[in-house]
Amino acid sequence: MKADPTQRFYAEVWSHAAEVQRLANILCRDTPAAEDLAQEVMLKAFRFIDRFEAGTDAKKWLFAIARNCRTDRLRVEQRTAGQEQLSNFEWEPEAPPVEESASRDAQAPAEILEAFSDREIIAALQRLPEEIRWTLLLVDVQGMDHVNAADVLEIPVGTVKSRAHRGRNMLREFLRPMAARRQYDQQ
């Protein structure tokens, strides 16, 4: 006897709804758009629960749906002109000078990040090109390994590693002025 689709949805997928909402909040620049995206993802998951293979990673499946929904929305709304494409992004962050890196090594990266509010981190993430933002959301925010992130994004693992490295450098550049101001204010 086949399991009831509604029961299966609630048993296997629904527990990830908050993570889908968090992902949507970071991807979208306004709350109504984020709520719409999260709702669309969960509705599609419910509608296609029969395509979900029992025993596989439900969160990974939901994030793949979210990626496809987000891509479809960008195409329909023709907002790609307003979105930075990685291939068009001319600025490449420089590696920090050696002496600057050495002085910062004394303070753990987790401590530095804790100094920023979630809102500041999200604002910095939203400044990134879409491809890099997705990569950091999956790898650094959601804690996915590179292989699973590559599956969700449908790109090679090496590209995930490259984008994650590049994105972290870009985030560092975006957050550095705020960190410097805070350090100056504390002196």
- Who's near 62: CB < 8 A, 6+ residues apart? 13, 16, 19, 20, 41, 42, 45
Which residue ranges of the chain lie beneath pLDDT 50?
79-80, 82-83, 98, 100-106
pLDDT of residue 104: 46
pLDDT of residue 46: 95
Q: Which domains does the chain show, CATH number per domain?
A: 5-81 (1.10.1740.10), 96-186 (1.10.10.10)
Does this model's pTM top 0.85? My answer is: no
Burial of 132 (C-beta count, 10 Å sphere; 0-12/13-18/19+): buried
In angstroms, the CA 42 to CA 64 distance is 12
